[in-house]
């Protein structure tokens, strides 16, 4: 689970298992025992958080 810490400060595309998808910047990855809580600011400027166990795809986006 430490691998998600590598995404902090980076722009990412994330698709969740419930088929929602987000693009934005990872603000923080919090360790919550056996899970990690990932907090992002999405492309609309909204703060979004979800657990790493909900993620089906995460990709770092290329810098513009």
- Helix, strand, coil tally for the chain in percent (to 5): 15, 60, 30
Share of the chain above pLDDT 70, in %: 95
Does the pLDDT of residue 1 top 50, yes or no? no
Rg (CA), the chain: 11
Share of the chain above pLDDT 90, in %: 88
Across 40-48, average pLDDT:
97
Amino acid 64: pLDDT: 64
């Amino acid at each position: 689970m430490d691998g998600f810490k590598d995404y902090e400060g980076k722009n990412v595309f994330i698709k969740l298992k419930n088929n929602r998808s987000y693009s934005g910047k990872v603000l923080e990855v919090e360790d919550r025992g056996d899970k990690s809580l990932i907090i992002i600011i999405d492309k609309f400027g909204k703060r979004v958080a979800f657990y790493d166990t909900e993620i089906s795809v995460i990709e770092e986006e290329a810098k513009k």
